[in-house]
Structure 1
């Protein structure tokens, strides 16, 4: 993609979010788009939001192998950005009109006490990652993609590149109030029971995230270092989903019970 293509795609995504509307797959408009192009579009959208006085709250890991990614044609995780205006309090309400037809995923949130930067060639250990974490807590991620899942005219589905460009479709995050040390809990066995209006919809384990959620943190730190970036102290990182997305229509309450890690909930007005 040319620089003009990238900036036009970014403008289309920014306008779609402002208007509360969806656009067709960018991969249809730009068949040559690859992951590098998708991240360039994501970066251009991020720049536009920073100019609009938003602040980076942290980072997210997505497109986990085995969690629906095979159907999308990919086998590598992705990274995305979390902004300060995405944050909702647990037990809070998403106002009417804030999102369109959202889905919700249950994730483990890592809150950092120290910066985490790998070398460009890798070289960061699991122990170094754990040392940099202040605490973990339960989290929900609200998905409201700006790109349609399927183009109505051609039937073409969005691809991993579309999802990356669209910042994984993230529209909000909810953090639980229970804080735990990552050293005192086996993250592979952290479970999430996700219910909508009191009815269980999905269950999952931390092991579904690369067999160890901290492995995702290692991957993210190494991937960011390749682009000269790092995870900073105070930032939040979402692990990737433990469950398949659960729909959150208007008037519904989504609750996730993480057992010893606590719970987290959100209501859609």
Structure 2
């Protein structure tokens, strides 16, 4: 992990601001006034502090998400790399009849390939061949991204500090091994109700979702928290994200992985 120019006080204040959004159920101002808009190390320090608090409260880490895999979004935020966030057990809402909209502030949805690992990714080069061999299977997924920052007014430091704008996720039922399909060759269509609202393909995710997975494996190891067997990795959006307000039904078709759907409850935050 690279060193940060922001002090511990700034990191603590940024963590407190994001925590207040979670506690009160209202978005807050960006944290870049505390961290600057380029100090990615400081932003990850905030993310790690918020992760520590979640773990202390009883949450369990079940995987990671990769964000900023689109070159267009990277250019928008002025960065040349992806970012990552932590997936906790209560973020997996695959088994629920409806996505609990009341847990979300400003939700958007995007379609992705999720990889489930069969091996720890700790040793070796962690190149694409190595991570491919460590994937048990893949499924279609809908990631429900959310921002604790008002109006999604984010720079790279805002989103990284805010757990890479993580929210919830839904995993599809069909499991395929990497002998059965190539992630970079899939096509994706995302529907809101009956309307086609987003399209893309595997190449939209850093050229290949396995490239994104290899980047994450190396980066997570550098941060001292390597990927582990059994964890889920949301590898990055295959097309533009779309709003997902209460009452919306989102459905994605991702090549041979089939369909995954999420109906957002009409319940809103009080």
Q: Secondary structure at the match of 2:43?
A: helix
Q: Secondary structure at the match of 2:197?
A: strand
- Alignment coverage as a number of residue pairs: 260
| Distance (whole Å) between structure 2 residues aligned to residue 250 and residue 108 of structure 1 | 24
Segments of structure 1 that go 5 or more residues without pairing to the other structure are 151-156
| Distance (whole Å) between structure 2 residues aligned to residue 139 and residue 78 of structure 1 | 18
Q: Judge which range, 74-83 or 29-38, deviates more.
A: 29-38
Give 2:189's match in structure 1, choosing from 179, 189, 193. 193
* 1:131 corresponds to: 133
Q: TM-score, normalised by structure 1?
A: 0.92
* 1:153 corresponds to: none
Q: Is the 8 A contact 1:89 1:175 kept in 2?
A: yes
| Distance (whole Å) between structure 2 residues aligned to residue 59 and residue 17 of structure 1 | 20
Give 2:67's match in structure 1, choosing from 62, 65, 72. 62
Q: TM-score, normalised by structure 2?
A: 0.91
Map 1:43-54; keep pairs closer than 5 Å: 43-54=48-59
2:228 matched to 1:232?
yes
2:20 matched to 1:15?
yes
* 1:75 corresponds to: 80
| Distance (whole Å) between structure 2 residues aligned to residue 62 and residue 118 of structure 1 | 24
2:205 matched to 1:205?
no
Segments of structure 2 that go 5 or more residues without pairing to the other structure are 1-5, 266-270
Deviation at 1:90, TM superposition (A): 6.2
Give 1:97's match in structure 2, choosing from 102, 107, 123. 102
| Distance (whole Å) between structure 2 residues aligned to residue 187 and residue 107 of structure 1 | 10
* 1:154 corresponds to: none
| Distance (whole Å) between structure 2 residues aligned to residue 46 and residue 96 of structure 1 | 22
* 2:247 corresponds to: 251
